[in-house]
Structures are given as structure tokens and as C-alpha cells.
Amino acid sequence: MNILIVEDESRIAKRIERMTRDILGNALQSLKHIDNLHDALWHIENSSLDLVLLDLNLNGESGFDLLTTAVSGAFHTIIISAYKDQAITAFEYGVLDFVPKPFNRDRLEQALNRAITQEIIETSTIKYLAVKKRHRIQLIPVEDLLYIKGAGTYTELFLADGKKELHDKSLEKLEQLLSYSFERIHKSYLAKMSEIKEIIVESGSKYIAELKNGARIPIGRTKYKDIKAKWL
């Protein structure tokens, strides 16, 4: 894993680094520490990362200025902060976990394991997916999202207004974040269960989910029984 630590207190950053190296062992490929928003933003936009460990208060500047850029990336973001009152907002923006300070090794290990194992997060707080547009980040309300299609290492977001947006995160990573309302109905699709109007069985053992807006997306043969049971 390639990890970036964004933390302005050197003592805490060294502790995070020491624990992370101990927890991940040989799974860790690179680990870099940056103590300010400007350099962190440049590194995020110009490096290949798997995980960002982000503090929300950096030399008096709000880490939320960086968070919207971070969560639009292909990697996951874990917040490590003493500002527990900001946890709900952080989850709304799509972070994988929030580790409150002071923290111990076990709590950090729990968060890192979520990133490694792609553990499904049972949360209903995420409200936005951040997508990269030219020279800006756009927040897409999850309530406007109907289904998601995998497109290689990227995903395509299909919205209620008929628009389609490209997201840098993989289908697997979005499945982690959206598991409370979306189901993996096919190896290439996540669908919002509340938007499914009908499940259709076609000749040749083909299964289709027809959404309320008329869109038709495939259901995997191995997933059909489970999806039908959850839908009913």
C-alpha cells in the first residue's frame, strides 16, 4: 500500500507512522508524511495512493478543504482527529473511517484493516460522492444516484436527471461506502434497491432489474435469489 499521512503535529505523525509500519508490515510499499494542506493537495493530485490518513486541523486550516479532493480520488480516506463533532460530516463526504484522538494501536489497526480487506461498512451517513470536474470538485448527492456501473478502475454514476458522471473510485470501494442502500446485483453493477420497480426473468436464464425510470440492468445468475429476496 502507498499511504500519505497529513498531520501537522510531528509527534503524532511519527506515532501514526510507527504504528502503521508495525500493523501493515510487508504490505506497506511507501509511507509519506506531509504537515500542510498545500503540499498535501499537490501530492494527492500527482501521486498514486491507496490510502490517506488525514487530520482535520492543520496549522489552523480546516482539513475539509482537502477532504473534498481526497474523497474524489481512487483511494480511501481515513480521518484521524480530535474533533469528534466533525465525524458525522466527514462520513457524509465519504470517508472510510474516523479515528478519534487520542487513539490506540487497536483502533488504528481496525481502520487500516477496513482499507486492506475491503470490509463492508454498515453506515447510512454518506450523503455525497465527490467527482472531479475541470478545475473543481463537484459533490453529487447520493439521493440522486440510481445505479453505478464499473468501468475498469473507474465507475460511472447514473443519476435521476439522466446525467452520467465518472468517479475515480472502483466499484469495490464504492460498494464499501454505499452498502446500506445499494446492492452488488452483478459483477459490474451496484443498484439502489429502492429504485428497482421489477425483477424480470428472460429466456436463457437472464435476469434483469428494471428501475423506476425505465433503465434495465443485468442481475448476475449467482446473485438473483439473494437480490430477489432482499427486494421483496
Tell me the pLDDT tens digit for each residue of 162-215: 999 999 999 999 998 898 889 999 999 999 999 999 999 998 889 999 999 999
Residues 108 and 155 in one domain: no
Residues 133 and 193 in one domain: yes
Rounded to whole angstroms, the Cα distance separating 231 from 137 reads 34
Phi, psi of 69 (to 5 degrees): -75, -40
Number of domains composing the chain: 2
Mean pLDDT of the chain: 92
Model pTM score? 0.81
Is 38 domain-assigned? yes
- As a whole number of Å, the CA-based R_g of the chain is 19
Task: Report whether pLDDT(131) > 80.
Answer: yes
Residues 10 and 103 in one domain: yes
Task: Report whether pLDDT(24) > 80.
Answer: yes
Rounded to whole angstroms, the Cα distance separating 50 from 53 reads 10
Residues 137 and 107 in one domain: no
- Over residues 42-56, the pLDDT tens digits come to 999 899 999 999 999
Residue 169's Cβ-side half-sphere holds a number of Cα atoms within 13 Å equal to 26
Task: Report whether pLDDT(124) > 60.
Answer: no
Residues 110 and 132 in one domain: no
Residues 113 and 157 in one domain: no
Residues 84 and 43 in one domain: yes
pLDDT band at 119 (very low <50, low <70, confident <90, very high): low
The whole-number average pLDDT for the span 17-36 is: 96
Q: Which of 72, 94, 117 is the C-terminal boundary of a domain?
A: 117
Q: How far is CA 12 from the centre of its chain?
A: 25
Q: Which of 58, 91, 117 is the C-terminal boundary of a domain?
A: 117
Residues 105 and 190 in one domain: no
DSSP secondary structure letters along 51-71: EEEE-SEETTEETHHHHHHHT
Residue identified by cell 494501536 is 105
> Which residues have CB under 8 Å from 73's CB, separation 6+?
44, 49, 52, 168, 169
**92, 126 in Cβ contact below 8 A?**
yes
Residues 48 and 133 in one domain: no
Domain of residue 42: give its range. 2-117
Question: What is the CATH number for 177?
Answer: 2.40.50.1020
